[in-house]
């Protein structure tokens, strides 16, 4: 899933993810399907835009084990990390996305994040590195930036 430069300035919610992780890309593709309104934008944590955001927020620029959700990219809002970021992204998706967020939100944050860290530790062994493949819908490519 190659990152492209958007034709318009990026605004609204952005999800930063590990661009080399097979599991992360699968999660992004699920969010693309769930986000029928097309609100979410995506960028790999390794991209120049994400690296600049991480530096500006005082976050590590070499730790790709944490998903980062930015509610408003244009305003550089404070990030939500790990499962809080997942829940924030899912809440933007009508129907199934909101339902998943409601169910996952019942689990205490410490437990969710412990499970997230465990999966993050094993994700490359289980899901491997991402091998680029075409998106199901070509218009989804516009929602990625670097």
pLDDT tens for each residue of 23-41:
888 889 999 999 999 999 9
Residue count of the chain? 146
State both tokens at 18: 């590990």
Residue the block writes with tokens 């819908």: 137
Q: What is the mean pLDDT of the chain?
A: 84
CB neighbour class for 75 (10 Å; exposed up to 12, middle 13-18, buried from 19)? exposed
Give CB contacts under 8 A, 24+ apart, made by 78-81: 79/53
Per-residue confidence (pLDDT) for residue 93, from 0 to 100: 93
Check pLDDT > 60 for residue 2: no
Do the bridges between strand 14-17 and strand 68-70 make them parallel or antiparallel, or are there none, so unpaired?
A: antiparallel
Residue 43 scores a pLDDT above 90: yes
* Domain spans, the chain: 14-131
What pTM value is reported for the model? 0.83
What average pLDDT does the segment 114-137 reach?
76
Q: What is the dihedral of CA 54, 57, 63, 67, to 10 degrees?
A: -80
Separation between Cα atoms, residue 87 and residue 105, nearest integer Å: 7
Q: What integer pLDDT is reported at residue 9 of this predicted model?
A: 65
* Lookup result for tokens 């199934």: 96
Q: How far apart are CA 12 and CA 9, in angstroms?
A: 10
So what's the pLDDT on residue 124? 67
Q: Interhelix angle for 82-91 vs 109-127, to 10°?
A: 90
Give the Cα separation of 86 and 104 in Å (integer).
9
Structure confidence at residue 38 (pLDDT): 92
């Amino acid at each position: 899933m190659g990152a492209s430069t958007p034709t318009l300035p990026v605004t609204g919610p952005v999800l930063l993810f590990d661009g080399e992780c097979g599991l992360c890309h699968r999660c992004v593709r699920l969010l693309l399907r769930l986000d029928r309104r097309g609100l979410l934008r995506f960028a790999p944590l390794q991209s120049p835009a994400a690296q600049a955001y991480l530096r500006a927020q005082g976050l590590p620029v070499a730790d790709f084990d944490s998903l980062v959700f930015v509610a408003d990219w244009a305003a550089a809002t404070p990030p939500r990390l790990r499962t809080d970021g997942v829940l924030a992204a899912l809440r933007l998706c009508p129907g199934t996305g909101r339902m998943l967020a409601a169910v996952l939100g019942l689990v205490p944050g410490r437990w969710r994040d412990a499970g997230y860290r465990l999966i993050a530790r094993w994700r490359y062994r289980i899901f491997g590195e991402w091998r680029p493949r075409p998106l199901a819908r070509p218009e989804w490519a516009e929602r990625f930036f670097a």
